[in-house]
Amino acid sequence: MIERIEKATDIRHWLGDMEADHYYYSAGIAGEKFFVALRDDGKILGTHCAACNLTYVPPRIYCEHCFAELTEYRDVGKRGCVVAFTVAHYNKSGERLDPPEIFALISLGPGMTPLLHKLGEVEPANVCVGLEVEAVLKPKKDREGKITDILYFRPAKLL
């Protein structure tokens, strides 16, 4: 009685789409500070919760564990290490990526929440957990106050 249908458009249907034209997402109070510092000063900020000894990167106005209000914004620098990574061979539309793109969670220091971004100037075979990396920013005139103001993280030069 019930046949298997492979495509929704094989049976009588009605076509439509999402009515919203687009969405405007404000960065919020903490986000505003983060993106202005990134765009104007080339700095990456976090907020520190003294009670939990945890620094949120990007910053938040509250600690999600103890609910304290966080007002201490810190410059967390631009060096860190890879906590986890993945090599993507297909983009979100299912098309092949050549060369593949590397996404990683990067911790900018002990006690900091990792930041999601891309890795560049490195071959996938040379990426490993623990790899020391540094942020590469767009030149100031090209920065817009978006996460893409950071181009990618690359293996850090030995100090």
Partner 1 sequence: MNKKNEFGPPLHPRGTRLEAEDLEKIAHVRAKPNAKYAWAAGTAMSRFLEELKNGRIIGRKCARCDRVLVPPRMFCERCFGPTTEWVYLPGTGVVETFSISYIDQSANRIKEPILVGTVAFDGAPPHCGIMHYFGEVSPEELKIGMPVEPVWKPKEERVGSVLDIKYFRPRKKT
Partner 2 sequence: MNLNKIRKDVAVIGAGMTVFARRLQETGKEMSWEAAKMALDEAGLTLKDIDAVIVGSAPDAFDGVHKKGEYLLDGAGGTNKPYMRVFTGGGTAVFAPIAGWWHVASGMFQRVLVVCEEKMSSVQPHAQSAFGHIWDPILDRPLKPNLVWIFSMEMQRYMYKYNVRYEDIALVAVKNKRNAVGHPCAQLADPNITLEDVLNSEPMALPVRRLDISPPSDGAAAIVLVSEDVAYEHTDTPVWIDGVGWCIDTTMWTNRDLAFPKFVAKAAKMAYEMAGIKDPRREIDFAEPYDPFDYKELQHLEGLLLAEPGEAAIMTREGKTQRDGEFPVCPSGGLLGVGNPIAATLGIKIGEVYWQLAGKAGPRQVKKDVRTGVAQAWGDLMQFSSVIVMRRR
Q: Is 131 exposed, middle or buried (0-12, 13-18, 19+ CB in 10 A)?
A: buried
Q: Are strands 45-49 and 150-155 parallel, antiparallel or unpaired?
A: unpaired
DSSP state of 107: E
Which one of 4, 7, 22, 96 is in contact with partner 2 (CB under 8 A)?
Answer: 22
Q: Considering only residues 3, 4, 18, 159, which one is a binding residue for partner 1 as defined by CB under 8 A? A: 18
Contact residue for partner 2 among 1, 18, 125, 128 (CB under 8 A): 18
Residue 36 binding: pick among partner 1, partner 2, none (C-beta 5-8 Å cut-off by kind): partner 1
Q: Which residues of 56-91 are buried (b: 16+ CB within 10 A; e: fewer)?
A: bbbbbeebeeeeeebeebbebebbbbbeebebeeee
Name the minimum Å distance from CB 29 to partner 2: 6
| Interface with partner 1 in residues 33-92 (CB under 8 A) | 34-36
From partner 2, partner 1, none, which one binds at residue 159 (CB under 5 to 8 Å depending on kind)? Answer: none
